[in-house]
Amino acid sequence: MSSMMTYLALSMVLFIIGALGVCLRRNAIVLFMCVEMMLNAVNLAFVAFSKLHGNLDGQIAVFFVMVIAAAESAIGLAIILSVFRSVASVETTDAAELKW
Amino acid sequence: MIELFILLVKVFLVMNIALVLGSLCTWIERKGSALIQDRVGANRAGAFIESDKWFVKPALPFVRMMGWLGVINTLLCDSVKGLWKEDFVPEGASKFLHAAAPIIAVLPIMLAFAVLPLAPDFTLFGYYIHPRVAPIDAGLLFVLAMGSVAVYGVAIAGWTGNNKFSLLGSLRAAAQMISYELPMGLVFVALIVVYGSLDVYTIVERQGDLLWGFIPKWGVVMQPVSFVVLLLAGMAETKRGPFDLPEAESELAAGYFTEYSGMKFLLFWLGEFCEIALFALLLALLFFGGWHIPWVKLPEGVWWAALVGHVVLMTKVVFFCLLQIVIRWTLPRFRYDQLMNLGWKMLLPVSLVNLAVTAIIKVLV
Amino acid sequence: MSFIEFILGVAALVSGIAVISFRNPLYSAFALVANLLTIAGLYALLNAHFLAVTQVVVYAGAIMVLVLFVLMLLNLKTEQGKQPGLAQLATAVVGGIVLIVTALPPVLSRFQGLSSHQLADNVRASEGTVQAIGQELYSHYTVQFELSSLVLLIGIVGAVMLAKRKQPQLGPRQGGLLKGE
């Protein structure tokens, strides 16, 4: 098994752990962190491919993912804060007023 | 094999230089603050030491002098005291995180020393040696990264304290460190624009040139505004001087390390003083020409020139350590809104304008 | 595969599992910081030096500090109420294993042959130094780069707009944050 495949496998397992976290947990901030972990798993695969193909395109993609993640975290946490202000909780089951 | 040996020696030396600078700062702080406040300060431990042993006798005058100067008190007695104190962990706190916090606070600062050159490159016994542990090309970025990781030690410490004062202190500290990181990053960008490199070694080397043939191209000449901003931001990052709100004694007991005792507490202190030394080193390297003496050109790649350069650099570093300590003991503490205003409404716009002006000049010239 | 790669990979897996299994969100956050740092280490081993440092600055230094800040400000207790039951947990674990088992072999077999393409000059060309990344960004991805700055600006404005305190009477049920005001 080559080094590249190990990286791919690691990236994939990390992604699945993140996805499981999104399914299992109810705390909105933890969900957010799991999404970040999934993004990171994909980033790892990008960087591994960048080395595999011998060009920088993968690393540039990771750079842009990081930019988006930064913007997303600012907005996501602001949303979580305003949800907390209106329902006094960050559990996803508590902010279910639109559900019937 | 020999490369590994050289690397290990470099790691050993750099670690020791960082620690020695840190403990030197401790001593300067103790005696210097006494001087500023018209006290005597630590002066007794070891000052009256007596011995009849023949191998101790010749050293006795020296030891007594060190005792009078307070060196033994600050460096030996304080550490022994720290080692023997009870290791207290507050109720309900995570033992693991409580123990990890001081380490996390010190480690990034130690790591930041790894990318900073401490002398010009030289050749010794046929081996080309660059006196820094990790010669990576993103040196300045690495220093910035380590600065931002240092927030965690403080945050975890305040949180494991399990009381309101600690938590408030750590929130203040984290907010302050994040706020002042922005002007610091912008200052670094301006420097990168001027010297055209992120590598600290290259930046220092380019400061050896002369501007218009007679002014040394030091950072403080090329970027005076940046120097002031980095000095202020650096002092805010070390959470000292007039910026010591996170550990404001009159408001928060001792801030984020209220619940720490013994060696863990001393580790925070060590981290703080190593951070002072780190910022002094950064100021000396980036703005005061590092190992360059103005208008003097040392031969390149010779070991004695590197040694002279190292001594010159360390002189500048000690000067900046002194400057930071004098400022810390001279100025009163800011109010918290003043601190935030200074960071966001003064330093950030000033460094942004500075960057824009620098870029325009760079394009025009 | 070197020893360091192995250690970092295992650490990434362990900290990843820790993120989703801690009850206390603060512990999860610390575990995620560890995870991000191990991934930064893997980037450095994959010759992406710039990305490794950026990962530490952006993810560990900015995003996670923000998360930590929010967690400490809200002062959340551990998740209360009914925890996911054993059946749910078992389903999740089985589902995860099934996902890995079904998805891994095709992916790996798809790229089986590729690893032999690794040439010395390939490695040289994919060296992600600051200069190389900058060259690439400003020559081929200029528009995207400028657009990403716009995205960040929108992020800042959006966050400020969302987090700005509304008039007190607008909030139907006021949270813990407002009580002290």
C-alpha to C-alpha distance for A66 and A36, rounded to whole angstroms: 10
pLDDT at B43: 75
Among B36-45, C107-116, C162-171, the range with the most confident prediction by mean pLDDT is B36-45
Q: Supply the mean pLDDT for chain B.
A: 83
B80 in Cβ contact with B52 (< 8 Å):
no
User: How would you label A7-29 residue by residue, b for 16+ Cβ within 10 Å and e otherwise?
Assistant: bbbbbbbbbbbbbbbbbbbbbbb
- Cβ-Cβ contacts under 8 Å, C129 against chain B: 137-138
CB C20 within 8 A of CB A34: yes
Instruction: Indicate the SS3 state at residue B293.
Output: strand
Query: Does the beta-carbon distance from C173 to A29 stay under 8 Å?
Result: no
Q: How many Å separate Cα B220 from the centre of its chain?
A: 19
ipTM, two decimals, is 0.88
Take residue C135 and report the two structure tokens written for it: 């060259």
A23 has pLDDT over 50: yes
Looking at the structure of chain B, the number of domains it has is 1
User: Average pLDDT, stretch B71-99?
Assistant: 80
Q: At what angle do helices B139-160 and B164-195 cross, to 10 degrees?
A: 180
pLDDT at B343: 85
CB A73 within 8 Å of CB A32: yes
Cα–Cα distance between B231 and B149 in angstroms, integer? 20
Q: Is C151–A26 a contact, with Cβ atoms under 8 angstroms apart?
A: no
Average pLDDT over residues A9-37: 87
The larger pLDDT score, comparing residue B333 to residue B348, is at: B348
Which domain, by its residues, includes A82?
3-87
pLDDT in tens, B108-150: 988 888 888 888 877 777 777 777 887 777 888 888 888 888 8
**Residue A38: pLDDT over 80:** yes
Contact residues on chain C for A9, CB-CB shorter than 8 A: 104, 108
Q: What is the DSSP string of B108-135?
A: HHHHHGGGS-SS--EEETTEEE-SSS--
Question: C1-76 adopts what CATH topology?
Answer: Four Helix Bundle (Hemerythrin (Met), subunit A) (1.20.120)
CATH number at residue A60: 1.10.287.3510
In a domain, A95, yes or no: no
Report the sign of the C-alpha dihedral through residues A65, B136, B4, B312, in that order: negative
Considering chain C, what percentage of its residues have pLDDT values greater than 70?
73
Residue range A37-60: mean pLDDT, rounded: 86
More confident residue, C121 or B99: B99
Which of 7-36 (C) contact B at CB < 8 A?
Answer: 26-27, 30, 33
Q: Is residue A9 part of a domain?
A: yes
Chain C residue with CA closest to B147: the answer is: C61
| Closest by Cα among A21, B266, B300, B33 to C31 | A21
Higher pLDDT pick, A57 / C112 = A57
B190: tokens are 């301006």
C17–A contact, CB cutoff 8 A? yes
**Contacts with B198 from chain C: Cβ below 8 Å:** 130
Task: Say whether pLDDT at C174 is over 70.
Answer: no
Please compute the mean of the pLDDT values over residues C173-178 and round it to a whole number.
48
Whether A99 is in a domain gets the answer no
Are C162 and A21 within 8 A, CB to CB?
no
What are B154-191's pLDDT values in tens digits?
Answer: 888 888 877 878 888 888 888 888 888 889 989 999 98
**Does pLDDT of C38 surpass 90?**
yes
- Strands B122-124, B127-129: pairing is antiparallel
Secondary-structure percent of chain A, ordered helix, strand, coil, rounded to 5? 80, 0, 20
Q: What is the mean pLDDT of residues C70-92?
A: 70
Q: Sketch the domain layout of chain C as residue ranges.
A: 1-76, 129-166
Number of domains in chain A: 1
What residues are paired with B123 via a beta bridge?
A: B128
Q: C65 — contact with chain B (CB < 8 Å)?
A: yes
Alpha helices in chain C (DSSP H): 3-21, 25-45, 49-54, 64-74, 86-110, 120-125, 130-140, 142-163, 176-179
- Tens digits of residue pLDDT in C128-171: 788 888 888 888 888 989 999 999 999 989 888 887 766 555 44
pLDDT 10s digits, B283-336: 998 888 888 888 777 777 777 888 888 888 889 998 998 888 888 888 888 888
Residue C84 with chain A: CB contacts under 8 Å: 24
Would residue A100 count as lying in a domain? no
pLDDT of residue A13: 87
Q: Which of residues 145-174 of C touch B (CB under 8 A)?
A: none
Q: Which residue of C7, C8, C19, C57 to mutate against A (max A Cβ within 10 Å)?
A: C19
From the DSSP assignment, how many helices (H) and strands (E) are in chain B?
15, 4
Whether the pLDDT of residue B72 is over 90: the answer is no
> Which residues, other chains included, contact C46 with Cβ-Cβ below 8 Å and sequence gap of 6+?
A7, A47, A48, A50, A51
The mean pLDDT of C59-68, rounded to a whole number, is 86
How many Å separate Cα C43 from the centre of its chain?
13
Confidence category of residue A40, pLDDT binned at 50, 70, 90 = very high
Q: Residue B48 burial by CB count (10 A; 0-12/13-18/19+): exposed, middle or buried? A: exposed
pLDDT at A43: 92
Higher-confidence position of A77 and B61: A77
Question: Which string of DSSP letters, residue by residue, matches A4-30?
Answer: HHHHHHHHHHHHHHHHHHHHH--BHHH
> Measured between alpha carbons, how far is B121 from B129 in angstroms, rounded to an integer?
6
Do residues A80 and C72 touch, judged by C-beta distance below 8 A?
no
pLDDT at site B171: 83
b/e burial code for range B214-224 (CB count within 10 A of at least 16 → b) = eebbbbbbbbe
Nearest alpha carbon to residue B136 among B123, B145, B148, B127 = B145
Nearest to B155 among C49, C68, C130 (CB): C68
**CB distance from C78 to chain A under 8 Å?**
no
Q: What percent of chain C has pLDDT over 90?
A: 12
Q: Would residue B170 count as lying in a domain?
A: yes
pLDDT at C116: 43
Please tell me which residue, B359 or B62, carries the higher pLDDT value: B359
Q: Residue B330 is part of which domain span? A: 2-41+85-364
Which residues of C, range 115-144, sit inside 8 Å of B by Cβ?
Answer: 129-131
Give the DSSP letter string of B134-198: ---TTHHHHHHHHHHHHHHHHHHHHHHTTSHHHHHHHHHHHHHHHHHHHHHHHHHHHHHHHHS-S
B66: in domain: no
CA–CA separation, B294 and B291 (whole Å):
10
Residues C108, A9: C-beta atoms closer than 8 Å: yes
CA dihedral C149, C152, C156, C157 (to 10 degrees): 70
Residue B240 falls inside a structural domain = yes
Q: Say which range, A54-63, B42-51, C170-179, has the weakest mean pLDDT.
A: C170-179
For residue C26, the model assigns a pLDDT of 84
Angle of CA points B176, B182, B184, to nearest 5°: 95
pLDDT at C114 over 70: no
Whether residue B119 is contained in a domain is answered as yes
Structural domain includes residue B74: no
**Residue B118: closest CA among B269, B320, B323, B316:** B316
**By CA distance, what is C162's nearest residue in A?**
A78
Of B346, C46, B130, nearest to A56 by C-alpha is: C46
Question: Within a domain: residue B287?
Answer: yes
Question: What average pLDDT is seen over chain C?
Answer: 77
Average pLDDT value for residue range B229-245: 84
Mean pLDDT of C11-22: 89
For the cut 70, the answer to whether the pLDDT of residue C82 exceeds it is no
pLDDT score recorded for residue C14? 92
Classify residue C57 by burial, with Cβ atoms within 10 Å: 0-12, 13-18, 19+: buried
CB spacing of C32 vs A37 below 8 angstroms: yes
Mean pLDDT of B239-261: 75
